[in-house]
Amino acid sequence: MSMKNINQLYQQVQQDHITRGQQLAQIKEASAELGSIIAQVLTSVVSIYAIDWETEEIVSSGSGFFLDSDLVITNYH
């Protein structure tokens, strides 16, 4: 391999390194934004438990979210 080819390869590796650094910074920024959105949404998520009051055991569980202050949406399976 000639010195010219080695230099070209080195420059390409350096550019790839810079590009990966920029991509990582973008991912970190997007993750922070996503984390903020998730934190806001999680306040609307609820856990739902069906309890057998005679045995006081949980017989089923699920999740849902508040659509309004007095309305929870769930998925019936």
Q: What is the pLDDT of residue 71?
A: 93
CB 64 within 8 A of CB 74: yes
pLDDT at residue 1 is higher than 80: no
pLDDT of residue 73: 93
Q: Provide the residue ranges of all domains of the chain, joining segments of one domain with +.
A: 1-43, 45-77
- Tens of pLDDT along 27-76? 888 888 888 888 888 888 898 888 888 888 888 888 989 999 899 999 87
Residues 44/63, Cβ–Cβ less than 8 Å: no
- What per-residue confidence (pLDDT) applies to 76? 72
pTM over 0.95: no
Q: State residue 77's pLDDT score.
A: 60
